[in-house]
Amino acid sequence: MEMIFGRDRGPVTDEDVAEAYPWPEEGVWVRSMMVSTLDGAAAGPDGLSNTISGDADRQVFDAVRRFADAILVGGGTVKAEGYGPLRADPDDTERRRAQGQRPAPVLAVVSGSLDLPLGDDGFAGSEERPLVFTGATPDADRLAAVRERCEVVQSGSDSVDDGWVIDQLVERGLRRIVCEGGPSLLRAVVAADRLDEADLTLSPTFAGTSTTPDTEALPDVSRFELAHLLTADGFVMARYVRRR
């Protein structure tokens, strides 16, 4: 992998990939990690992002979430992508503990329906009990089922405000947050003006956009500045930081 734009231009070793995605020493930082095709699709013809991903994207994906406190995803993505349990590499666990972090990132899911896959090999089997954010009056049976496997946090109304979700994570000491989408959740985080960094992989593919969810237009464009560009195997991995 090579950095072609940014402060440390030149070859990037596997270990250095995570160093290219630093977290601030203090304060809350929310970054997104998404992959897009050349025609703007967020998923392949099968409705999955893996189809448009590749080794270079996966390497950056792992590096971006490696020392995160929480991985935030929408219910649509958990269902579509079949999220497995979150686990950290044993060496990373040591470093995480030394840095005062939990042994592995906590998975945080936003879901109004609570219609979530709860099997042992799914997200609910994570080392750290997942958090599920939902509204005030979800379906009672689903609420009971999700509570058995996850900590459920209910908002005060039927809607879930994404700024409130991030505040709840921070209250639990989870201040390094990776939002892994999908597009609907990411749009809401941007609309709440809580996104600090957007990490985007451009995949050298076309896929058509019918499996990519439409999102509502924002009231105004949200502007970011380019911090770096990495490249490998024809993929371009961009890191943008919010212009404030």
Ligand X SMILES: NC(=O)c1ccc[n+]([C@@H]2O[C@H](COP(=O)([O-])OP(=O)(O)OC[C@H]3O[C@@H](n4cnc5c(N)ncnc54)[C@H](OP(=O)(O)O)[C@@H]3O)[C@@H](O)[C@H]2O)c1
> How far is the CA of 168 from the CAs of 20, 22, 107, in angstroms?
28, 23, 13
Query: Which tokens sit at 213?
Result: 């969810």
DSSP structural state of residue 225: E
Residue 112 engages ligand X in binding (rule: CB under 6 A): yes
| 49: Cβ contacts below 8 Å, ≥ 6 apart | 35, 42, 43, 81, 181
Residue 213 engages ligand X in binding (rule: CB under 6 A): yes
Q: Is the peptide bond before 47 cis (omega within 30 degrees of 0)?
A: no
Torsion angle defined by CA atoms of residues 18, 133, 186 and 229, in that order, rounded to the nearest 10 degrees: 0
Least CB distance to ligand X at residue 134 (A): 7
Candidate segments 12-20, 91-99, 111-119, 139-147, binder of ligand X by CB under 6 A: 111-119
Least CB distance to ligand X at residue 212 (A): 7
User: Site for ligand X (CB under 6 A): which residue of 23, 31, 72, 77?
Assistant: 77
Nearer to ligand X, 96 or 123 (CB): 123
Residue 49 engages ligand X in binding (rule: CB under 6 A): yes
Residue 57 engages ligand X in binding (rule: CB under 6 A): no
The type of residue at 160 is V
Q: Are 69 and 14 in contact (CB under 8 A)?
A: no
Least CB distance to ligand X at residue 240 (A): 15
Nearer to ligand X, 69 or 162 (CB): 162
| Residue from 198, 201, 205 nearest 236 by CA | 201
User: Site for ligand X (CB under 6 A): which residue of 30, 42, 178, 179?
Assistant: 42
Residue 193 engages ligand X in binding (rule: CB under 6 A): no
Nearer to ligand X, 17 or 188 (CB): 188
DSSP 9-38: -EE--HHHHHHTSPPPSSS-EEEEEEEE-T
User: Site for ligand X (CB under 6 A): which residue of 3, 74, 107, 128?
Assistant: 74
Nearer to ligand X, 6 or 76 (CB): 76
Applying CB under 6 A, the residues found at the interface with ligand X are: 34-35, 42-43, 47-49, 73-77, 80-81, 110-113, 115, 159-160, 162, 180-185, 188, 211, 213
